[in-house]
Amino acid sequence: MTEAYRIVIGMDLEDEGDLALMEGLRVGAPLSAELHAVHVIPTRRDTEVLARVLDLGLSRLRERVSKIAVSAPVEVRLHVRFGDPAAMLHQVAVDYDADLLIVGTRARGGVARTVLGSVAESLVRTAKLPVLVARTKKLAELERTPQPDEGRPGAALHGDQQISEVIRVGPRTSHIAGLV
């Protein structure tokens, strides 16, 4: 019996977290993965407010996950933690022996990223497991390479022209030992 593939997903209760959850469902469903959606509340509050904040965070997380994963073929477990988001997401990944950590990103640049930091950037640099940064696909606004996989044998290379080859890999029909 093989152990379950576990994915921890950072949920910031914004569109970026929703995108990370959708990516987690897309990756995890074919693997029948165990998904853990984690919302981290960045600061500790005083003890009087702590229970209310925790309940509110859990209900908001449940609401967002339910809307997105309504017909998902996998179960999504919910977690709410207090503390530094990058550290807490990494800790949940450690606690549940995760195989992959998925986070969204606001893709801030310049001063905003310097001042506010980036959970995704921090995790990519320091996490002890693979990190997938989910973002909206925007390839339509980019120019495509003309003939990206059209290799022409004997053609001279000019300028930005590239040599490329598509290789198809399939099951072996014979073993090398059988050739000797």
Burial class of 9 by CB neighbour count within 10 A (0 to 12, 13 to 18, 19+): buried
**Residue 161 falls inside a structural domain:** no
| 116-175 pLDDT tens trace | 458 888 999 999 999 999 988 888 888 887 766 655 555 555 555 555 555 666 665 555
pLDDT of 17 over the 70 cut: yes
pTM of the predicted model as reported, rounded to 2 decimal places: 0.71
**pLDDT reported for residue 155:** 56
pLDDT above 50 (res 79):
yes
Residue 98: inside a domain? yes
| Pair 123, 103: CB distance under 8 Å | yes
* Residue 131 CB-density burial (10 A; 0-12 exposed, 13-18 middle, 19+ buried): buried
Here the CATH number for the domain that contains residue 31 is 3.40.50.620
Which residue segment(s) compose the domain that 95 sits in? 6-137
Residue 27, pLDDT score: 93
Residue 40's DSSP bridge partners are 81
* pLDDT tens profile 26-50: 999 999 899 999 999 887 656 566 7
**Does 174 fall in a domain?**
no
Would residue 76 count as lying in a domain? Answer: yes
Question: How many domains are contained in the chain?
Answer: 1
Domain membership flag for residue 64: yes
Q: Does a structural domain hold residue 97?
A: yes
For the chain, how big is the Rg over CA atoms in Å?
22
Residue 172 lies in a domain: no
**pLDDT for 45:** 59
Q: Helix and strand tally (H, E) in the chain?
A: 5, 5
